[in-house]
Structure 1
Amino acid sequence: MKQVLLDLQSGSIQVEDVPVPAVTRGVVVRNAYSLISAGTESSLINLAGQSLIGKAKARPDDVKKVIQKIGTDGPLPAYRQAMSRLSKPEPLGYSCAGTVVKTGTDDFEVGDRVACAGAGYAVHAEYVSVPKNLCVRIPEGVGFREAAFTTVGSIAMHGVRNARVTVGENVAVIGLGLIGLLVIQILKAAGCRVIGIDIDQEKLSLAASLGADAVSNYDGLSGRMKAFSPFGADAVIITAATRSSAPIEAAGRLVRDQGRVVVVGNVGMNVPRDIFYEKEAEVVVSRSYGPGRYDRNYEERGIDYPIYVRWTERRNMEAFLELVRQKGIDLDPLITHTFALEDAPEAYNLINTGKERYIGVLLQYSPNGTGASGTVTYLPEPGRRKESAGVRTLGCIGAGVHALSSLYPHLPGLPVNLAGLATATGLSAHSVAKKYGFSYCTTDYQEILKDPDINAVMIATRNDLHAPMAIDALHAGKDVFVEKPLATDIDELRRVVEAWNESGQRLMVGFNRRHSPLAQRMKEFFGNRSTPAVLHYRVNAGQIPPDHWVHDDEQGGGMLISECCHFIDFMQFITGARPIQVYARAIEPTGSLRKYDNFQATLTFDDGSLGTVTYTTLGDPSYPKETVEVFCDNAVGRITDFRDLELRRGGKASRERRWLAQDKGFAGELLAFAKGEVPDFAGSVSTTLATFLAWESIDTGTPREIDIGTVGL
């Protein structure tokens, strides 16, 4: 299929062939029309077109993260991660309409006409995969062209709802672009009197033709406002887009005592306190298109709010379409341009240069499509095949931040031929496959497992998919490299062990730290020890955003399951022993602290060694992230952030420092897998089981015995 993509490095717009997306918790829709949001999309394009310095100035928070990463990981990993984000094209668009061709929910059937919303979902592409709560049926009498405005219409709808206007009230609308003109029509449908304000005379004339009771530019505005409403506006809705605070200052002068100002557009927010104080006026910033926005449970998982949350995103979308059906909103005068999908770069050029006046700009899709409609896309110029003995054929599943920054950069140096890459979205599949020289890309990972040429599979998806995909790959007769954690609960772990026992294939888990050169030297240093060891692994993790997927009980399993396994595996590697008991305690949740994000776990190993993992999000991120210390035989070893190794024995110390980059062992683990080395599968199972039992120990307050026989080994 064809999709519009933005190159984040150059700012150029391209229309590329990518695989059709997979259906998940919603529907796959064949688009008929999509609407270009001139304001939102242009700001992203303008940012992409800036130099690296310009991008840094525009995103100071991202720069701060890069600086912190330089401090812990070194400049090279920080640079690679930053550039990997920029090398991945960005999808454009968030409002479209079309026909359902696949469904994964009872809410919709194949053939339903639907309007779709959401950045990353309702994009400019021939086919889109959209969660059910971001889709609504199009009522009879409303065409696809009109329905493509639904997302922008619901933004306008939510802005009006935040103004809490009633019949007969006087409302001022500042900024008469697309959303402002929609707001005027919604207000008129609600029985309000409206004055439209803009500097553009043509927009003022259009607002008047769409029902505005009065219109005005800023010259003589106070007089016109007094004539319109002597006591001021009951509400002012700002839909302008400007860095200037002039709109909010004007709103303060226009609004009546104890009136309300609603900010919908992205404007300067230097609120003049004296003006608003004297009027005791309220300022509300309207959040997109209703309750549910930015809530992963609502948008991604499809969990709706009860009806007392009356106007959710989806209900606002339905209400907007109903107003269109009733002819309360006229969209025809707002549609100034329609471009074929292939001409999307021309559409964006029109918007960016302003060579013609525009309001609503639509992309139209051919009913029969112009690109392939399958889930597999073959790359025209795949990478060169390696013909030497021992070269394996690899298929990869997943292309998230970790895969792109830590795993895939090592692929060119491995003795493998890259066959297929599967991801949930066609965009990421195509861009990453093209970058690394895969032969094809797909949005259906089963295509990787069915490929008879592929004999090894790498799984680098979100946590909840690791076990099911590893099981499928083992049953398909493939050797498997799967990122940690191996599973997110004990039942999944049992099923993985069962599949491993039945298949006879190799399975390696991405416990990379044991493959670090510094870890190898530490293990050699303690190789002939005569006493048990005492180990302490301290992790100064820093705060993970509460809405990050790793906290999702279904997708991530929390930081204890997702991260603690690394540190237990490292202790196994250094001691050469298996954990037999774990006792863990955690800080009770309070405020923003989650229960399993700050904990200590003490492990007993079968050789008598003791290990403690301290994991905390409460420290200063400028302090080293990972420090591991080992004590035994009157000797001490310490690794800091896998950049600094210190070994002490008999009063003598040796030190090794890596200045440019840490080496956490990613290259080493992938090379071991590619060369067919036999992994410590029992150790990986033991580590994974230990993390689950650490969770149980926190919940019960008691130590838990670790026996891998309980999961089938």
Structure 2
Amino acid sequence: MKNRRMHPQIELTEAVAVVAIADPHLPSQQQAHNLARSFNWPLQVFSGHKELLDSGMCDVLVVSSPNMTHFEILMDIITHPKPHHVLVEKPLCTTVAHCAKVIDAAKSRPDMLVQVGLEYRYMPPVAKLMDVVKGGILGQVKMVAIREHRFPFLVKVNNWNRFNCNTGGTLVEKCCHFFDLMRLFASANPVRVMASGAIDVNHKDETYDGKVPDIIDNAYVIVEFENGSRGMLDLCMFAEGSKNEQEISVVGDIGKGEAFVPESIVRWGSRVEGRDGVKTLKAEDDRIKYDGLHHGSSYLEHLQFLSAIRAKGSQAPAVDLHDGLISVAIGVAAQLSIEKGRFVTIEEVME
């Protein structure tokens, strides 16, 4: 868990300071020390989040710990006497029930701002496509198709991300991003989900403490929304031979828009003008100086989070706890659909 402090006396135009980390993993602690020394930052290191909370050092926390730890950490933060603003990495929690408990607990803390790290919203091509959709150029959105063809899951501490019990399942762990985007593009809440997926290539020859990984590496997911629009996810995690990792298509009743990552290309056109009328642009954001793994979106997310904090209650977080809950609920429904071989309603998993 990384932590940032904004001292009460500093002006709104001044920077924040990273003052502490809490991490039980010794190699991670050492990496944090080394990074801090390279920038000549003073850094306090704690072996657990409770010690950091009790230290009173931080005003703002970033929770970037393994998925299965989010619930306990968030509940400890929310129930702690000292208020802390929080940015929690996706998914909010690994289960719908835990998400709901966090939301209930947060209702008693109006002095805290909690934002969920669904940063794909901030990728420049995705943000531009969202502007196109909101501008009405495509008309009423009817279909959203998202293809992610990428590399396998990376190696994480103690290989925690190899098992559904820790991640919530691939369609929760990884794909909550895309379900969040579908909901934004459709401008509606999900009703039911149908999915097909399997473990076909990755991790099949791995064992950890005698256990074989159970996370799926490919899937098709269909999501139906309350306004009649539909979303479709095409996920493959053994498709490194791709020019783009994400391809997003949004089709309305009068036009179509597309975004490509990392090419950062956006295209849109109308049915009336046809192929000759399609417009293309390179989506860029001058605030991004270093792309990073998520093409600058994590940086932009932190800027928005800081802006919401500095607004002192007058600005809601861009991605709130309800957004986090719904993105997890769709993933849970998709995982259950694969297990049961049938449509699963959102109402079913919310209960």
Under a length normalisation based on structure 2, what TM-score does the superposition of the two structures give?
A: 0.77
Matched, 1:571 2:182: yes
The partner residue of 1:427 within 3, 20, 30 is: 30
In 2, are the aligned partners of 1:516 and 1:664 still within 8 Å (CA)?
yes
Q: State how far apart, in whole Å, the 2-side matches of 1:501 and 1:550 are.
A: 30
What is the SS of the residue equivalent to 2:11? coil
User: Which residue does 2:11 correspond to in 1?
Assistant: 389
CA contact (8 A) 2:150 2:240 kept: no
Q: Could you tell me how far apart the structure 1 residues matched to 2:69 and 2:121 are?
A: 24
Residues 150 and 239 in structure 2, CA contact (< 8 A), matched pair in contact too? yes
How many angstroms apart in 1 are the aligned matches of 2:242 and 2:96? 36
2:114 counterpart residue number: 507
Contact 1:565/1:687 (<8 A) preserved? yes
Q: Does 1:632 align with 2:252?
A: yes
Q: Is 1:441 equivalent to 2:12 in the alignment? A: no
Q: Which residue of 2 aligns with 1:418?
A: 18
Residue 65 (structure 2) aligned to one of 454, 461, 469: 461
Equivalent positions of 1:224-243 (< 5 A) are none
Deviations along 1:381-436, one digit per CA (max 9) or x if unpaired, are xx997954347xxxxxxxxxxxxxxxxxxxxxx84232321122242342344445
Q: Secondary structure at the match of 1:502?
A: coil
Whether the 8 Å contact between 2:23 and 2:47 is mirrored in structure 1 is yes
Counterpart secondary structure, 1:526: helix
Aligned to 1:673: 305
Aligned to 1:192: none
Helix, strand or coil for the counterpart of 1:596?
A: coil
Residue deviations 1:328-382 (CA, integer Å, cap 9, x gap): xxxxxxxxxxxxxxxxxxxxxxxxxxxxxxxxxxxxxxxxxxxxxxxxxxxxxxx
What is the aligned partner in structure 1 of residue 140 from structure 2?
531
- For each residue in 1:489-534, what CA deviation from the matched residue of structure 2 results, as whole angstroms up to 9, or x when unmatched? 2332232222222323322111001122322221111114342331
Compute the displacement of 1:624 (Å).
2.0
Match of 1:194 in 2: none
Asked whether the equivalents of residues 540 and 623 of structure 1 are also in contact (C-alpha less than 8 Å), the reply is no
Partner of 1:587: 198
Structure 1 residue 565, shift from structure 2 partner: 0.4
1:95-134 equivalences in 2 (<5 Å)? none
Give runs of aligned pairs for residues 112-511 of structure 1, distance below 5 A.
Answer: 388-390=10-12, 415-424=15-24, 425=26, 426-435=29-38, 437-476=41-80, 477-504=83-110, 505-511=112-118
Letter in 2 for 1:497: I
Deviation at 1:692, TM superposition (A): 0.9
The aligned counterpart of 2:208 is none
Matched with 1:604 is 224
In structure 2, list runs of 5 or more residues that go unmatched.
205-213, 309-314
Distance change in 2, residues 1:439/1:542 (3 Å): closer
User: Which amino acid counterpart does residue 177 of structure 2 have in structure 1?
Assistant: H
SS at match of 2:167: coil
Give unmatched runs, 5+ long, in structure 1.
1-382, 392-413
Cα deviation for residue 552 of structure 1 reads 2.5
Instruction: Check 1:689–1:621 CA distance in 2 against 1; reply closer, same or farther (3 A cut).
Output: same
CA distance in 2, matches of 1:560, 1:641: 20
Query: Which AA in structure 2 matches 1:421?
Result: I
Distance in 1 between residues matched to 2:142 and 2:344, nearest whole Å: 21
Residue number in structure 1 paired with 2:173: 562
Match of 1:544 among 153, 167, 175: 153
Task: Report the secondary structure of 2:301's partner residue.
Answer: helix
Count of equivalent residues = 307
Bigger radius of gyration: 1
Q: TM-score scaled to structure 1, two decimals?
A: 0.40
The match for 1:689 is 329
Q: CA RMSD in A?
A: 3.1
Q: Distance in 1 between matches of 2:283 and 2:316?
A: 30
CA contact (8 A) 1:558 1:597 kept: no
User: For residues 453 and 515 of structure 1, what CA distance do their matches in structure 2 show?
Assistant: 30
CA distance in 2, matches of 1:490, 1:523: 27
- 2:282 corresponds to: 656
- Does the residue aligned with 1:678 lie in a helix, a strand or coil? coil
Identity across the alignment (%): 19
Residue 675 of structure 1 aligns to a residue whose secondary structure is: helix
